[in-house]
Structure 1
Amino acid sequence: MDISIIIPSYNRLWSLPKAISSCYEPGLNIEIIVIDDGSTDGTWDWLAKQQNIVALRQDNMGKDWAVNKGFAVAKGKYIRFLDSDDWLLPGSSLALFTLAENHQLDIACAGYQLFNEQEQFIKEISWTVCDDFLAQQLGECDSSHYSAYLFKKEFIQAIPHRQEFGALDDRQFVIEAALNQPKTGFIQTPTLAHRVHQKQRLQNADGLQAYANHLARLNIYKRCFEQLRAKGLLTQRYKNAACNALWHLAHWVAKTHLADGQKIYNWVYELNPGFTPTENLSIARLYKHFGFTTAEKLLKIRRLF
């Protein structure tokens, strides 16, 4: 088996058939593994009627459990992970597979395309060339989408999708892989169609779930830095890369938990005292003029009107 494509799904019968059909590709021996995470929309009944699919079922335990369940039975030399509301672009698996085989890569990377809910093209996010895969994943530059990647199964064998990181389990997964110093390569052709929509998905959470997602992101960085520090590899470059993400995270957290946002903001300038944001410059000016806490209070008042 060349590639196993793992697709967790929960109440996505509206998009799952397209995701599955996009996986078939001539010239490769592809295994499609779909894990129904306790859907109530008829997904399992539909899957039972499909051919050439490894269909698994579990109670509604979450994406990470579903992906790990699929990985446990995967027979492919390489793995692709695909959300059931996205789809793979034609020829993408063969292009990634050829690259990985020719250069003996642990991870083959590419950019992706954005589509709206009606499957209309929005824009393309090309792969950003970077000489340090971990710095890229920490936020030094755009790192694409992990479903646009191809992973050698042997390389990620001991890296599960971890439940404690919730909706950010894929982010933790890639950073954990990056910490293991993979041999990587890329193609400039996009390999994934990522659908932007407002239907139920973990990343669209609000309230307490959104706050939980923010804390998960923070913990990913803390965990990564602890590991780098223990190995004597926590360089200033990695600190600087993280600041790009943590500065924005401080603002998001402060919307509902001001004191926690202030702590993250303080950490940014402990990591890099000279950090200067390149986005959201109007907010950056407010921080500089009023200080973080006062600026966020003013922003909160403005959001009320």
Structure 2
Amino acid sequence: MPLPEHLIKQLVSVIIPCYNHGKYLAHAIDSVYAQSYRFFEVIVVDDGSVDNTKEVCGKYPEVRYVYQENLGLSAARNTGVKNAKGEYLVFLDADDWLLEHALEHNIGYLKSDTRAAFVAGGYQLYYEPEDKTWLIQQEITNDYYCELLEGNFIGMHAAVMYRHWIFKYFSFNTALRYCEDYDMYLQITRLFPIFYHTNLIAVYRKHDDNMSANYSGMMDYALRALSFQKKNLKNKAERKSYKKGKNYWRSYYSRKIYDNLLGNLYAGEVVFDRKEIEILKKYNKHLYKKFTNQPFQKYEGKRKDIKKLPMNIIRKVFFRIKKKPKLPKVKKIDLGDLERTSPFSTQFGYDRGGPLDRYYIENFLKTYSPQIKGRVLEIGDNAYTMKFGGDEVTESDVLHVDDSNPRATFVGDLSNAPHIPSDSFDCIVLTQTLQLIYDFKAAIATCHRILKTGGILLITVPGISHIAQDGWGKYWLWSFTDASMQRLMEEYFSLENISVNTYGNVKVASAFLYGMGLPEIKKRDMDIHDPHYQVIVSVSAIK
């Protein structure tokens, strides 16, 4: 029986294309059924899988299962559109999942303005091999079309909710093996308004089988999707953004290819793709030179493992003896990619895989996760409360500076909050906030007042950092050291109940200032501690 018109206008169709990702599929489906917004349908498009995809779907009677011969991701999405009944469409890859309020957040934006073709939000990047998570939340205030010409700031397709009517005008390009979503964003934003926000919508799982790990292919198709827009450019600003985008994709994937080649060399599992070597040579001669002159230890593998690698590179790479690095002589330092006065990212590295400082912040909170329990107050949102406290949290409160956040249980300035009751909280999570508060001493006094006896205050503050270039920049007032935080905390908490720590070293501090992302720095370098270069300062204090 067809749905009544008034119900269709409320329905969200969640389309899950799946190709041999049956092992992940149940998690994706469960995340839809856990949504706070309850009026949805789930359509799984099996793109010719030979694993247990059909069997997994069979465990969910309400899921509509659609099978097609293997035609690729674009074709699977188009099939999903044809089978969707809802006014709103979400495309969730089978190896990703939605966060609890994903549909509620996005449909709220679209209902507020019927002109918008789609809405997109922030997401979490989950790196499965190392069980690490980063938050990807960018503030974008410029022209969305120009921003997308310069790079794909949306990043994750499941963070997008489309209006169904937009697919009367567009379909996913089946000629694009990768970046078909990027192509869609460009087509739509050129002609229609959209919404963009930083609420967390979904989790993007990175693992060894991701299509996006094919860096040379990703570069090809990103540039191809971008090139489709060349004929549409109308003014100088768009042409400038287009040129900037071409340079960005070449630089971004050249670095990815270089890091991948280098990692393979060190691991001793070397099967080279000649195309990747040629891409480095064509688009990034500096990285090409660095790769072909690496001082590696002698390669122990067999020559037959190397697929048609030019002999001059084989000689350079495999038969050098690794030497202990020496300090370069004065005026002989090779700055390479750092020979620039502008950063790689002005978004703290959010657009390069996630900020470096989040690694330290989340490790700190993970250490204290057993104390994140009972009634917990967090500033801005409760993402860290729920991530690190989970089921141990009995009541989660959020303090926001104004009433723009519908999930806030308290509104106001932490430095002047008499309306928050005293002796109320078992834990307060105060991350990367104190630098935005002019009277930070009063904010700490408030925290001490509203904590229960035995309650814990968990703080992180920036040390070495650039100033935010979005709307928060005008509120960015302070940076801190371990010494300043120690003296501050001693004014309100007993010395024996205070623990102050620092994180970082000169390499991480420099990379953070340049806006490099977390995937661009090795974990072993992140874990080296030099107290003279304090990127993050953490504090735990018990009342």
TM-score by length of 1: 0.78
Provide the residue aligned with 1:85 in structure 2. Answer: 95
Matches of 1:134 and 1:41 in 2, distance apart? 39
Judging changes above 3 Å, is the alpha-carbon distance between structure 1 residues 157 and 119 closer, same or farther for their aligned structure 2 residues? farther
Preserved CA contact (<8 Å) 2:280 2:287:
no
Is 1:42 the equivalent of 2:52? yes
Which amino acid in 1 is paired with 2:169?
Answer: A
Shift of 1:240: 3.2
Corresponding residue to 1:137 among 133, 148, 163: 148
| 2:49 aligned counterpart, secondary structure | coil
Identical counterparts, % of pairs = 21
Return 5+ residue gaps in structure 2 as ranges.
Answer: 1-7, 255-274, 295-316, 319-543
Match of 1:179 among 159, 178, 190: 190
Contact 1:130–1:136 under 8 Å retained in 2: no
1:55-204 pair list within 5 angstroms: 55-104=65-114, 105-117=116-128, 120-139=131-150, 142-180=153-191, 182-198=192-208, 200-204=209-213
- Correspondence for 2:277: 256
Q: Is the 8 A contact 2:223 2:246 kept in 1?
A: yes
Aligned match of 1:220: 225
Residues 27, 297 of structure 1: CA spacing in aligned structure 2 closer, same or farther, 3 A cutoff? closer
The worse-fitting range, judged by mean Cα deviation, of 91-100 and 155-164 is 155-164
Cα distance change of structure 1 residues 39 and 139 upon mapping to structure 2, 3 Å threshold: same
**Partner Cα distance (2:184, 2:147) in 1:** 14
8 Å contact from structure 2 (residues 119, 194) kept in 1: yes
CA contact (8 A) 1:107 1:150 kept: yes
Amino acid at match of 1:165: L
Residue 242 (str. 1) matches residue 214 (str. 2): no
**Aligned with 1:257: secondary structure?**
helix
1:116 deviates by 2.3
Aligned to 1:5: 14
SS of 1:170's equivalent in the other structure is: helix
Deviation sequence 1:272-303 (CA, Å, 0-9, x none): xxxxxxxxxxxxxxxxxxxx65x454234135
TM superposition shift of 1:213:
3.3
CA contact (8 A) 2:219 2:250 kept: no
Shift of 1:141: 7.7
- Partner amino acid for 1:173? M
Residue 289 of structure 2 corresponds to residue 298 of structure 1: yes
Contact kept? 2:22, 2:51, Cα under 8 Å: yes
Query: Deviation at 1:145?
Result: 2.1
In structure 2, the CA distance between the partners of 1:166 and 1:121, relative to structure 1 (3 Å rule), is same
Counterpart contact for 1:156–1:177, Cα < 8 Å: no
Q: Find the residue that maps to 2:187 and give its secondary structure.
A: helix
Using the TM superposition, give the Cα deviation of residue 170 of structure 1 relative to its aligned residue in structure 2, in angstroms. Answer: 1.3
Q: Are 2:45 and 2:80, in contact at CA under 8 Å, matched by a contact in 1?
A: yes
Letter of the structure 1 residue corresponding to residue 51 of structure 2: D
Note closer, same or farther for the CA distance 1:50–1:141 as it changes in structure 2 (3 Å cut). closer
Q: Which moved more, 1:6-15 or 1:130-139?
A: 130-139
Name the CA distance, whole Å, in 2 between partners of 1:297 and 1:145. Answer: 30
Query: Which structure 1 residue ranges, 5 or more long, are not aligned?
Result: 263-291
Which residue in the other structure is 1:282 paired with?
Answer: none
Q: 1:260 to 1:60 in 2, by over 3 A?
A: farther
Q: For residues 301 and 129 of structure 1, do their structure 2 counterparts lie closer, same or farther at Cα, with a shift above 3 Å needed?
A: same
> In the TM superposition, what whole-angstrom CA distance separates every residue of 1:7-50 from its partner, at most 9, and x where no partner exists?
10111111110111111224442011101111111111221332
CA deviations 1:190-220 (Å, max 9, x no partner) are: 101111111x232122xxxx54432222221
SS at match of 2:200: coil
Q: Kindly tell me: are residues 72 and 134 of structure 1, through their superposed partners in 2, closer, same or farther at Cα, counting changes over 3 Å?
A: same
Question: What is the match of residue 272 of structure 1?
Answer: none
Note closer, same or farther for the CA distance 1:213–1:125 as it changes in structure 2 (3 Å cut).
Answer: closer
Distance 1:39 1:187, change over 3 A: same
Which range moves more in the overlay, 155-164 or 33-42? 155-164
**1:256 Cα deviation after fit:** 3.1
Deviation at 1:92, TM superposition (A): 1.2
SS at match of 1:167: coil
Q: CA deviation at 1:67?
A: 0.8
Q: Any conservation in 1 of the 2:216–2:276 contact (CA below 8 Å)?
A: no
Q: Which has the higher contact order (CA 8 A, sep 6+)?
A: 1
More moved, 125-134 vs 244-253? 244-253
TM-score, structure 2 as length reference: 0.45
Structure-2 change in CA distance of 1:241 and 1:45 (3 Å): same
| TM superposition shift of 1:97 | 0.5
- Structure 1 residues 258, 122: CA separation in 2 closer, same or farther (over 3 Å shift)? closer
Residues 122, 244 of structure 1: CA spacing in aligned structure 2 closer, same or farther, 3 A cutoff? Answer: farther
Is 2:17–2:76's contact at 8 Å kept on the other side of the alignment?
yes
